Amino acid sequence: MQLFLTAFESVADPRAENTRHDLAEILIIAFLAVLCGAQHCCEMAAFGRSKIKFLKRFLKLRHGVPSHDTFSTVFRMLDPKALDAAFGSLTARLVAALQKGGVIAIDGKSLKGAYDKGCAHAPTMMVSAFATGLRLTLATVAARKGNEVDAALEVLGLIDLKGMIVTGDALHCNRRMVDAIVAKGGDYCFTLKANQDSLLSDARAALGKIKPEHPTAKTETRAHGRIETRVGVVVAVKGLAEHHGFTGLKAFGRIQATRLIDGKVETDVRIFALSRQLSADALLSTVRAHWQIENTLHWELDVAFREDAARNRKDHGPANIAVLRRRALDVARTDKCDSPGGLWTARATFGPDPPNKRSACRFRSSA
C-alpha cells in the first residue's frame, strides 16, 4: 500500500490550501472502494466508514473518512491525466516485462451513462492502450468532444512503443497515427478499410497477385456453438509507403474468416496495413490478440464494474472514476484465478472483515 501512497503523492491537489483531508488518502479509499464494488462518491464514503479500522492500519485519517461531497469535489477537479500517470508509474516494471513484439491494442469505449441531461448522444469516451500479453491497461485518456484519434495519439505519447506492435481498427489507420508510432520505435497492424480508399485499392491489387504456393496459415476454433476458420496471408510491398505518404508501410495482410453457425456459413475478409513483415502465423496471432481489449477490458468493465450504468457525469468526474475502474480491474484480475465464481466473486472477497450477508446485499443493490 505504501507504493500507492507514494505514487498518489505525486498528484497535484487541485483544492484550496485549507483542505482537511489528505489527497493521497482520498485516492486510496476511492480506489479500494471501486475495487470492492463502489460506483459513485456516496458509496466511496460509505465504504470508508465501514472499513475505517482497517484503513487506519496504513492511513492517518486525522479528520476521519471524507464525506461524499469531498470525494465528489476531488474527482470533479482532479486532472485525469495526472491520476492515470500516477498509476502508470506503478506498472512501469510490469511493462518492462513485455517481450519484443508484444501487442498493444488501442481502442475507445464510451461511458454510456456519463452525460448531462439532453446529451445522451455524446457520452464521455475513454481511449485506452492495453498490453494484451499482460492484460494490463498502460494508459487511459478521455477523448475531448469524442475525438478518439486525438486521444489515441495522446495515449501513445504516454507509453514506450519500442519493439511493440500497435493494433487498432480502421479509424486509427491514418497518417498521423503511423507517423507517431514509427517515430517512437514501434510497429503497427491496422485494419484497412474505405477511409483509406487509395491504399485499400493497392492492397487488394497486391494481395490479388498472390500465387498458389505463397505461404499461408490457418487456425480453427470451436466455441459458443460455432466453428470458425481463419486463413491468413501476408505480402510484402515496396515503394507504397512513399507513394501514399504512409510512414513505415512494408506489407499488407489478409485474413479470411469463415464461420459455421447453426448450419449457416458466413464469410468475412479483413485487410491490414503492416509496418513489419510478419509471417502469416504472426498476423493471425496479432489480430487475435487485439480483440483482448474488447473481451478482457471493455466487456469486464461492463459486466463486473457495471461501467455503462455509472452516472458520474460532472466535470472530470467520469474520466477520473473510469481511470480507477481500469486500474482496479488490473488488480482484481490477478486474483481471479483463485475465485471459481469469476471476477465478480473475486471482487466480493477483497478487503478484510467483509460485511454480513444482509449488509453486503444492501451495498450491492445500492451500487
pLDDT at 93: 54
Domain boundaries, the chain: 2-88+313-366, 89-300
Say whether pLDDT at 20 is over 80. Answer: yes
> pLDDT tier at 358 (50, 70, 90 boundaries)?
very low
Q: Which three cell numbers stand for residue 209?
A: 497477385
User: What pLDDT score was predicted for residue 305?
Assistant: 86
Residue-level pLDDT at 36: 85
User: Is the confidence at residue 279, as pLDDT, over 60?
Assistant: yes
Mean pLDDT of 228-252: 95
Tens of pLDDT, residue by residue over 26-74, are: 999 999 999 888 888 999 999 999 999 999 988 999 999 999 999 999 9
- Rounded mean pLDDT, 267-286: 96
- pLDDT at residue 362 in the model: 35
Residue 3's pLDDT is what? 67
DSSP string, 194-232: GGGHHHHHHHHHHHHT--TTS--EEEEEEETTEEEEEEE
Say if residue 354's pLDDT is above 50: no
pLDDT value at residue 128: 95
Q: How confident is the model at residue 245 (pLDDT cuts 50, 70, 90)?
A: very high
Mean local confidence (pLDDT), 268-290: 96
Averaged pLDDT of the chain: 85
Range 69-73, long-range pairs (CB < 8 A, 24+ positions): 69/41, 70/21, 70/26, 70/45, 71/26, 71/30, 71/41, 71/44, 71/45, 72/41, 72/314, 72/317, 73/15
Mean pLDDT calculated for residue range 226-231: 93
What are the pLDDT digits (tens) for 281-338? 999 999 999 999 998 899 888 888 888 888 777 888 889 999 999 988 888 776 554 4
Secondary structure E strands in the chain: 103-110, 125-131, 136-143, 165-168, 187-192, 217-223, 226-236, 251-261, 264-274
230 pLDDT above the threshold of 50: yes
pLDDT band at 97 (very low <50, low <70, confident <90, very high): low
Q: Is residue 17 pLDDT above 90, yes or no?
A: no
- DSSP code for 351: S
pTM of the model: 0.75
Chain Cα centroid distance, residue 313:
20
- Structure confidence at residue 342 (pLDDT): 60
What proportion of the chain, given as a percentage, has pLDDT over 90?
A: 57
State which H helix or E strand residue 4 sits in: helix 2-8
The per-residue pLDDT for range 141-160, each reduced to its tens digit, is 999 888 999 999 999 999 88
Residue 120 pLDDT greater than 70, yes or no:
no
- When comparing pLDDT for 117 and 9, which is higher? 9
The pLDDT of 177-192, averaged and rounded, is: 97
Mean pLDDT of 215-236: 92
